[in-house]
């Protein structure tokens, strides 16, 4: 079964998750983004925290019209706020902030419902922390939403090189590195 065959299959892809992961393992992050865009057209969103890795996925999605969801919390690091401003000035993206007294996971569920999303792209990388190292390129949640992680196996060096080669702004905390990051909770399978 080829990636093209899987992308054209409009049946419930749940039984195909293992096959999709196998097919996507050898694909580049951009190829995975393109596959998701083609397969979930009109039902695809992406999320961002405006952390050090955010520029990579946002750059890949610039000018596509894919809605970008940002869960805005009071504890958002100052550097992420500044990076958000830089990236929004540089990239043409369709972003919507969600904030309020609800926990992050509840805000994300609300955002996914508003957008009628069937799939969400997230820029997490396996090297960021122990939990993310257990993820696969595609995870199906109990609510039926597919979480797609195109940058999952991108190394720190590859992420930093992508940012430099595409002349993207650099987060005030520097380029992606090997410092482990805490899990925000949105990527825990529910």
pLDDT in tens, 151-175: 999 988 999 999 999 999 998 887 7
As a whole number of angstroms, the distance between CA 135 and CA 158 comes to 19
Q: Give the side-chain half-sphere CA count within 13 A for 76.
A: 20
pLDDT at 9: 44
Q: Which token pair is 55? A: 């520029």
pLDDT at 79: 83
Spans in the chain with pLDDT lower than 70? 1-15, 129, 131, 133, 176-190
Q: Are strands 44-48 and 146-148 parallel, antiparallel or unpaired?
A: unpaired
Residue 5 has a CB neighbour count (10 Å cut-off) of 10
- What single string gives the DSSP state of each residue in 87-139? HHHHS--EEEEE-SSS-HHHHHHHHHHHHT-SEEE----GGG-TTGGG--SEE
pLDDT at 130: 77
CA distances to 71, 86, 99 from 103, rounded to whole Å, are 10, 27, 9
pLDDT at 1: 42
End-to-end Cα distance, the chain: 29
What domains are there in the chain, each with its CATH number? Answer: 28-165 (3.40.50.620)
SS3 content of the chain, % helix, strand, coil (to 5): 40, 15, 45
């Amino acid at each position: 079964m080829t990636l093209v065959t899987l992308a054209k299959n409009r049946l419930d892809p749940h039984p195909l998750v293992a096959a999709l992961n196998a097919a996507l393992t050898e694909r580049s992050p951009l190829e995975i983004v393109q596959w998701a865009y083609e397969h979930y057209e009109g039902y695809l969103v992406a999320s961002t925290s405006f952390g050090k890795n955010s520029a990579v996925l946002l750059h890949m999605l610039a000018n596509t019209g894919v809605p970008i969801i940002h869960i805005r919390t009071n504890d958002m690091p100052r550097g992420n706020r500044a990076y958000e401003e830089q990236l929004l000035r540089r990239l043409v993206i369709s972003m919507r902030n969600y904030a309020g007294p609800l926990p992050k996971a509840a805000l994300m569920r609300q955002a996914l419902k508003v957008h009628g999303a069937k799939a969400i792209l997230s820029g997490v990388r396996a090297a960021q922390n122990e939990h993310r190292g257990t993820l696969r390129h595609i995870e199906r949640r109990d609510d039926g939403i597919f979480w797609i992680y195109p940058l999952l196996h991108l190394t720190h060096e590859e992420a930093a090189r992508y940012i430099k080669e595409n002349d993207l702004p650099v987060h005030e905390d520097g380029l992606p590195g090997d410092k482990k990051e805490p899990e925000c909770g949105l990527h825990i399978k529910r």
